[in-house]
């Protein structure tokens, strides 16, 4: 609830007062490299600038006094996988929000896959958009064993390609009807979801689902259609920040937020800002 929920609640109280026209609190936009990137407060009164300033200062104090509550905790992919392995049951949902497809990322980030393979995870699942790898598996055929580079090809922001050797368990056209009709993806594109040609590639104990089109993890049918049963996984990496929850929270034993590479990362120290004002939270101590 802190700091913005508390600030908005107090702002609504102020707005209800006679003579206060409007209270506007802007949370800022961390993905813009501009001088006015941060949080701001505007209070408009009916001819009482001193009151407006006093209320704006009060709201700013609420935000600054509780700034630490807004700072996310960063867990490396290796640490997240280790935590998941130590937990009973599954699936444990590993949130790869830095490669949030709904936010515009390519969906080919490799940090979660790399960590699962390094830890010899048995029954882990990850979906990666990689039309080149899909084509190679399709050419090899169902049942073939292939060695190929997976993910990390769209840009340099989402991890390097991972070279894997795995068995092509299933080739699929990638079209399915959403199990959750009201999921976030369906609200845009309807209940028929088309991921393009899709491959279930079994790499050691990890189920890698490769898709020709990047597709957000808003429906369990994405995995199930490929042949991977979500409920039977020890852990599942999802490339989403929030909208995965409707589909995955009902089956999740726990959720771990990872600090992965990607353009939607909450770890702002990863960005090479050039035009923002300094000092600024959370990059600097204030």
pLDDT confidence band for 190 (50 / 70 / 90): confident
Q: Please tell me the distance from the alpha carbon of residue 149 to that of residue 165, in angstroms, as a whole number.
A: 9
- Indicate the average pLDDT of the chain: 96
pLDDT recorded at residue 181:
84
Whether residue 238 contacts residue 177, with contact meaning beta carbons closer than 8 Å, is answered with no
Whether residue 62 contacts residue 6, with contact meaning beta carbons closer than 8 Å, is answered with yes
With 80 as the cut, is the pLDDT of residue 187 above it? no
Buried b (16+ CB within 10 A) or exposed e, 147-167: ebbbbbbeeebbbebbebebe
pTM above 0.85, yes or no: yes
pLDDT confidence band for 70 (50 / 70 / 90): confident
Instruction: Kindly state the DSSP code that residue 152 receives in the 8-state scheme.
Output: -
Residue 197, Cα to own-chain centre: how many angstroms? 23
Relative orientation angle of helices 4-15 and 49-65, to the nearest 10 degrees: 160
Over residues 41-58, the mean pLDDT reads 98
Q: Which helix or strand (DSSP H or E) is residue 44 part of?
A: strand 40-45
With 80 as the cut, is the pLDDT of residue 240 above it? yes
List the one residue out of 88, 79, 95 whose CA is nearest residue 234: 88
Q: Is the peptide bond before 91 cis (omega within 30 degrees of 0)?
A: yes
Task: Find tokens 């393009």 and name the residue.
Answer: 196
């Amino acid at each position: 609830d802190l700091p913005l929920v508390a600030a908005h609640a107090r702002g609504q109280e102020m707005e209800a007062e006679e003579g206060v026209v409007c209270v506007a609190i802007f949370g800022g936009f961390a993905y813009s490299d501009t001088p006015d990137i941060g949080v701001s407060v505007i209070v408009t009164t009916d001819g009482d600038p001193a009151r407006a300033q006093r209320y704006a200062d009060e709201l700013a104090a609420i935000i600054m006094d509780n700034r630490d509550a807004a700072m996310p905790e960063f867990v490396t992919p290796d640490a997240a996988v280790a935590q998941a392995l130590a937990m009973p049951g599954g699936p444990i949902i590993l949130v790869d929000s830095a490669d949030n497809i709904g936010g515009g990322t390519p969906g080919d980030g490799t940090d979660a896959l790399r960590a699962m393979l390094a830890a010899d995870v048995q029954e882990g699942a990850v979906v990666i958009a990689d039309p080149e790898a899909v084509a190679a598996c399709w050419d090899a055929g169902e049942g073939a064993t292939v060695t190929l580079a997976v993910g990390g090809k769209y840009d340099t922001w989402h991890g390097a390609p991972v070279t894997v050797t795995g068995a092509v368990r299933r080739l699929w056209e990638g079209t399915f009807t959403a199990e959750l009709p009201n999921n976030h993806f369906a609200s845009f594109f309807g209940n028929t979801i088309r991921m393009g040609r899709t491959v279930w590639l079994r790499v050691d104990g990890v189920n890698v689902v490769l898709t020709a089109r990047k597709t957000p993890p808003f429906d369990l049918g994405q995995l199930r259609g490929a042949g991977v049963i979500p409920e039977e996984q020890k852990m599942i990496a999802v490339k989403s920040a929030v909208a995965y929850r409707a589909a995955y929270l009902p089956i999740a034993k726990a959720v771990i937020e990872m600090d992965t590479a990607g353009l939607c990362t909450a770890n702002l120290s990863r960005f090479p800002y050039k035009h923002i004002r300094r000092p600024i939270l959370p990059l600097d101590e204030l």
